[in-house]
Amino acid sequence: MEERITGHTELVGLIATPIRHSKSPEMHNAAFRKLGLDLAYLAFDIQEYQLEDALKGYKALNVIGSNVSMPYKEAVIPYMDELTDAAKLCHAVNTIKNVDGYFIGHNTDGVGFMNGLKDKKWDVINKEMTVLGAGGAAKAIVVQAALDGVKKINIYNIKDDFYKVIEDKIEEIKKYSDTTITINDIKDLDLLRKDIQNSYLLVNATGVGMGKLEGQCLIPDTSYFHSDLKVADVIYAVEKTKLLQMAEDIGLDYMNGERMMLFQGAESFKMWTGKEMPIDYMKDFLNIK
């Protein structure tokens, strides 16, 4: 790695906290190496009071761009000079491109998820999907799915603060798309069952299934599934969540969050470098089947 770094090498950053577990530095540095790009990607674990200085530092050092992860995806917005539609609608930025001190804020999570579906050869356009969750990942997926032309999106969440925020968000998304979007209480199991039966795709976009919630699942049992249902989880920290295990148990096609992670990275990579990430090479590198 050090052999690559010269006086010409330029920097891409990642700001978040905690951040040491992130796979993004390995992923982007492997892609830079593969394409012979004179760039390096480094993670910076910063505290909230350091955010403004960190962003000013990016400008002073002419860092070409950055990823932004939790908990700063919203907090960086006031420092952006321009936002893409996806970033505006999600009210969250996960990618910054620095054009000579002018910051463009983008959100690549939703595109990453949708491109992950394409890579898996799942076609949800003009069809119905059910999304569990109303937080950052869910919002990004719902926004992009609506912009891309999914016919109907049924969102389910517990009645927390995220629920209230997504209710307003749905009205905003409707200005950009004809998709029918509903938000429902996850406790309404009869409605959930009916919506899953009508769905091509079921997505878990909550953290239920990892960390303290590992081994848990928001769907009570496999009778909620139908035989052609595709099941996706945004979680990548656990290779096979309980939801995906349930899908496997009855022979359904499923995927975890690794593809979303790869393709959101690929979208950011394109913004910074103007080049396509070498996807097949990266899939091997990250062991994505």
Q: Determine the Cα–Cα distance for residues 252 and 231; give it in Å rounded to an integer.
A: 7
Task: Please report whether residue 160 would count as binding ligand NAD according to CB under 6 A.
Answer: yes
How many alpha carbons lie under 13 Å from residue 132 in its C-beta half-sphere?
A: 25
Q: For ligand NAD, what does the binding mask look like between residues 212 and 231, x meaning CB under 6 A?
A: -x----x-------------
Specify the 3-state DSSP secondary structure of 7: coil
In the list 134, 203, 246, 277, the residue contacting ligand NAD (rule: CB under 6 A) is 134
Burial class (CB in 10 A: 0-12, 13-18, 19+), 220: exposed
CB of 57 or CB of 207, closer to ligand NAD:
207
**Residue 278, preceding peptide bond in cis (omega within 30° of 0):** no
Residue 32 tokens, joined? 């830079």
> What's at 4, amino acid-wise?
R
For the question of residue 73 being annotated catalytic, the response is: yes
In the list 13, 25, 110, 136, the residue contacting ligand NAD (rule: CB under 6 A) is 136
Nearest distance from residue 131's CB to ligand NAD, in Å?
9
Q: For residues 210 and 226, is the Cβ–Cβ distance under 8 A?
A: no
Strands 152-157 and 95-99: unpaired
Nearest distance from residue 110's CB to ligand NAD, in Å?
10
Residue 117 tokens, joined? 């579906």
In the list 66, 179, 199, 206, the residue contacting ligand NAD (rule: CB under 6 A) is 206
Nearest distance from residue 258's CB to ligand NAD, in Å?
7
Task: Please report whether residue 141 would count as binding ligand NAD according to CB under 6 A.
Answer: no
Q: Determine the Cα–Cα distance for residues 86 and 173; give it in Å rounded to an integer.
A: 10
The single residue of 23, 56, 59, 73 carrying the catalytic annotation is: 73
Task: Please report whether residue 135 would count as binding ligand NAD according to CB under 6 A.
Answer: yes
Task: Please report whether residue 264 would count as binding ligand NAD according to CB under 6 A.
Answer: yes
**Residue 18, preceding peptide bond in cis (omega within 30° of 0):** yes
Nearest distance from residue 203's CB to ligand NAD, in Å?
10
The residues that are catalytic are 73
Judged by the rule CB under 6 A, the positions of this chain that interact with ligand NAD are 109, 112, 133-138, 157-158, 160, 162, 205-208, 210, 213, 218, 234-236, 257, 260-261, 264
